[in-house]
Structure 1
Amino acid sequence: MVPYRFVQFVDPSYPQPALLFALIYQAISVSYVALLIVSSTYLSTQCRPDAASRLA
């Protein structure tokens, strides 16, 4: 039984593995939210009726 679920991301010998995991998780979360914002903004401009005239 492995005490850590994300062993590939967390080094158990690191002095504070929970802090390292929290930083990695935070970076992934911020990247994901930024991707959602950028992609939804792009899609919303593409779905507007006059989007073609703005891009030209």
Structure 2
Amino acid sequence: MLKLALFFLIVSLVAGLFGFSGISAVSAGMAKILFFIAILAFVIVALIILFSAKSLFNN
């Protein structure tokens, strides 16, 4: 997911460099959305691992 966000970021920078502001804005928006989804997924997985590790050590 982060690779896709990085791809959209690069597309946005290249499009902005060549003057395609519409494509640049859309690509930057997609990069932001994918980045925050990746961060949210990381936090959820980290919490699941943390709580499952606590339950293992409590037995």
Could you say which TM-score interval applies, normalised by the shorter chain?
0.5 to 0.7
TM-score (norm 2): 0.58
Q: What root-mean-square deviation, in Å, do the aligned CA atoms of Structure 1 and Structure 2 show?
A: 1.8
Query: Could you tell me how far apart the structure 1 residues matched to 2:41 and 2:49 are?
Result: 13
Deviation (angstroms), 1:12: 2.8
Tell me whether 1:41 sits opposite 2:12 in the alignment.
no
TM-score (norm 1): 0.60
Query: Which structure 1 segments of 5+ residues have no match?
Result: 1-5
Larger radius of gyration: 1
Q: Whose helix fraction is larger, Structure 1's or Structure 2's?
A: 2
- Equivalences, count: 41
Tell me whether 1:20 sits opposite 2:23 in the alignment.
yes
Runs ≥4 in structure 1, deviation > 6 angstroms? none
Query: Which structure 2 segments of 5+ residues have no match?
Result: 1-12
